[in-house]
Amino acid sequence: MTRSFGDYWDGHIVTSAWHYYWALARALTPNANPGFAALMFAWYRRPDGPGLGRVGQSALTRLASALHALDDMYRAWQLPTDNATNDSISDDFDQIVLGVSGILDNLALLAGKYFGLSGLQPFEWSLVHSKYVRKLRAVGDARATAVADYIDSNRIRIALHSELRHHAVHRDRLAGMSYQHQGEPQETRMRIFEPMLGELWQSLEASGEDPAEWGIRDRVGPHDTKVSFVGQPERAETEHSPGEAMLDPMPFARLLMRKTATTVDDIFGRLRLQNDPSLTAEEVAAIDSHDAKASWPFRPRDRVALILTSPLAGL
């Protein structure tokens, strides 16, 4: 996991970790390759070219940064469980949740600004806001309609992060907890309470996902717990829980990142920015030629080994 410290060894040279994560983000989103190239070609061709280019670049850069945080989580996960490890995993988890929010917001801005949407309040610039989707449909462009159809078909899955984002934005850290089974190593879990738990659970089930595969287990309803204090036998308190479960951040973060990469790829695939009329025939040919020759951004001799080093391998 030397990448999480800033570099990695690919069998030939030591390379900047940033190049790895940028390449991995592009490998996970092959439809973004021609789309990103089109944004760069159109930078000075369209009046809104610089703005679109920056938003598109930000979405892919945030994806790379979130992948870096996922690697860092797995590095910390292999360390002995203590308060510092729990804090590191929790901080990286927050970074991923917020990163996903930024990525999806950037996609909403990219599609909306590209098709010239207007009359939206700042909070309405969201993939899952109904007014945003209605305005996309009103554009009359088949690509805008395709994006709107995709959002409507995947609305629940796209919004999976929203409840956890609320906790991260307001710095209401999920309670960390360590426990140990006989003969097994310690593991980090986070306690997640109602109503956040119920909304997240329902979202997962409604999108066809198994909450257990996402690391949410041991769900219990409202209950009271007697609390005792060392050295104070006469003192007793009762802790009330509105209902809770234990959240393993490792599988949740990994699956959330994979679903997010899929959303980025699917939306770029429907936008088809490489079809923009501002591009010349030569530029379109250059984009098509590059995409046909190199659908993966890795050298052929390295790409399998590099992809398999990611925590997302196999998903």
- What confidence tens digit (pLDDT) does each residue in 62-109 have? 999 999 999 888 888 877 777 788 888 888 988 998 899 999 999 999
Same domain assignment for residues 127 and 220? no
Tell me whether residue 39 is in a domain.
yes
Are 241 and 166 part of one and the same domain? no
pLDDT tens per residue across span 26-39: 888 889 988 998 99
Whether residues 232 and 257 fall in one domain: no
Phi, psi of 15 (to 5 degrees): -120, 150
In a domain, 314, yes or no: no
Residues 18 and 123 in one domain: yes
The answer to whether residues 228 and 253 belong to one domain is no
Instruction: Examine the fold and report which residue of 227, 247, 267 is the final residue of a domain before the chain moves on.
Output: 247
* 213 lies in the same domain as 256: no
Residues 106 and 143 in one domain: yes
Average pLDDT over residues 7-14: 50
Rounded Cα–Cα distance for residues 115 and 108 (Å)? 11
Residues 271 and 239 in one domain: no
pLDDT of residue 116: 94
Pair (140, 265) in one structural domain? yes
- Asked whether residue 40 is assigned to any structural domain, the reply reads yes
Instruction: Summarize pLDDT for 240-277 with one digit per residue, the tens.
Output: 888 888 888 889 999 999 999 999 999 999 999 998 88
In a domain? residue 220: yes
Q: Is residue 207 part of a domain?
A: yes
Q: What is the pLDDT of residue 165?
A: 74
Say whether pLDDT at 133 is over 70. Answer: yes
pLDDT at 266: 95
> What is the rounded distance in angstroms from the CA atom of residue 53 to the CA atom of residue 55?
6
Mean pLDDT for the chain? 81
Lowest mean pLDDT among 68-77, 105-114, 174-183, 184-193: 174-183
CA distances from 26 to 64, 81, 188 (A): 9, 33, 31
Per-residue pLDDT band for 197 (boundaries 50, 70, 90) equals: confident
Counting the structural domains of the chain, the total is 2
Point out the domain boundary residue: 211, 232, 247. Answer: 247
CA–CA dist 94, 98 (Å, integer): 6
The verdict on residue 196 lying in a domain is no
* Model-wide pTM > 0.85: no
| Range from 64-68, 200-204, 254-258, 285-289 carrying the lowest mean pLDDT | 285-289
Q: Of 247, 262, 280, which residue constitutes the final position of a domain? A: 247
* Averaged pLDDT for residues 165-174: 60
Same-domain pairing of 79 and 50: yes
Q: Which residue has the higher pLDDT, 215 or 15?
A: 215
pLDDT digits (tens, 9 = 90+) for 135-167: 999 999 999 999 999 999 998 888 887 777 766
Look at residue 191 and tell me if it is in a domain.
no
- 260 and 210 fall within a common domain: no
Give per-residue burial for 246-262: e unless 16+ CB within 10 Å, then b: bbbbbebbbbbbbbbbe
> Residue 212 falls within a domain, yes or no?
yes
pLDDT, position 294: 43
SS3 sequence, the chain? CHHHHCEEECCCCEEEHHHHHHHHHHHHCCCHHHHHHHHHHCCCCCCCHHHHHHHHHHHHHHHHHHHHHHHHHHHHHCCCCCHHHHHHHHHHHHHHHHHHHHHHHHHHHHHHHHCCCCCCCHHHCCCCCHHHHHHHHHCCCHHHHHHHHHHHHCHHHHCCCHHHHHHHHCCCCCEEEEECCCCCCCEEEEEEECCHHHHHHHHHHHCCCCCCCCCEEEEECCEEEEEECCCCCCCEEEEEECCEEEECHHHHHHHHHHHHHHHHHHHHHHHCHHHCCCCCHHHHHHHHHHHHHCCCCCCCCCHHHHHHCCCCCCC
User: Residue 147's domain spans which residues?
Assistant: 2-178+249-308
Using the predicted structure, report yes or no on whether residue 235 has a pLDDT greater than 90.
no
Q: Does residue 207 sit in the same domain as residue 303?
A: no
